[in-house]
Amino acid sequence: MATVSRLSDPTVELLDEIDAFIFDCDGVIWLGDSIIDGVPETLDKLRSMGKKMFFVTNNSTKSRAGYKKKFDKLGLNSVPAEEIFSSSFAAAAYLEQTKFKDTGKKVYLIGEVGICEELDLIGVPWIGGPNDTGKVPSMGPGDALQHDTDVGAVIVGFDRHVNYYKIQSAQLCINENEGCEFIATNLDAVTHLTDAQKWAGNGSMVGAIRGCTGREPTVVGKPSPLMIDYLCDKYALDRRRICMVGDRLDTDVLFGSDNGLRSVLVLSGVTNEEKLLGDENKITPDFYTDSINDFFPK
């Protein structure tokens, strides 16, 4: 049985020790399109204490600008765009770090508008994505799907309109274009599209491309270190005084432990107490609690 302490004295155990909080969004701040009760007030209290806050999500369907609109819609107007980091932003940041634009190549995309907008901002050309929604390849005798030989990277992000045309196009680019890179925004098994149930996540789409190429992707979202490296460099943060707060063991908590951060698992999302404390779980946070509202017990 995994041994994890339930958060009991948040002031001593957490608030006095932490300067910056990194929050996952789905399952921590909201569920689907519904804010979790009490979260706005909790964030306001943390901000009034001078705590730095960042919101890091593996969901790539929106750009940073798109997520800012969602925060505002949910009443979190005090969160500036500069505090929001999505895996769509991480994908673009990775291409900038690796100087992909200098190659003159383009990206084939399985994903939604969030990645498109982030690639547009850095001037990297892309094909596929929303433009290939609804397409069906001809599969009669002698038919072959033509692919773009100038594609130098395939990015796979969450795509509610994934289809066989996109899968075939991606595998052709990876298998037949020399040096083509396979990039995944994240490997999340499930996600919160609504607050009523769990839905298959980007891991299912990455799995399809992994299966037909035999290639392992470069993962840019959590638990990859790319985003924490970016934050520490930009804001001069001390990793020992950063806490990752999330609802997933294999992304959020692992992101914390792999990168030298403290971590708190909340039970308001996909992970329940039975799974956390079960014999099969090998990933443990520093503390766990029901929701971030427990940072300020009543």
Active site residues: 19
The Cα-based distances of 118 to 60, 61, 161, 185 in angstroms read: 10, 11, 19, 13
Sign of CA dihedral 126, 163, 250, 287: positive
What is the 3 state secondary structure string of 75-133? CCCCCCHHHEEEHHHHHHHHHHHCCHHHHCCEEEEECCHHHHHHHHHHCCCEEEHHHHC
* Cα–Cα distance measured from residue 112 to residue 158, given in angstroms and rounded to the nearest whole number: 7
* Cα–Cα distance measured from residue 148 to residue 121, given in angstroms and rounded to the nearest whole number: 22
Report the DSSP pairing between strands 84-86 and 52-57: parallel
Place of tokens 């990645």: 115
One-letter amino acid at 256 equals G
3-state secondary structure of 256: helix
Instruction: Please tell me the chain's helix, strand, coil percentages from 3-state DSSP, rounded to the nearest 5.
Output: 40, 20, 40
One-letter amino acid at 252 equals D
Name the residue among 205, 221, 142 with its Cα closest to residue 171: 205
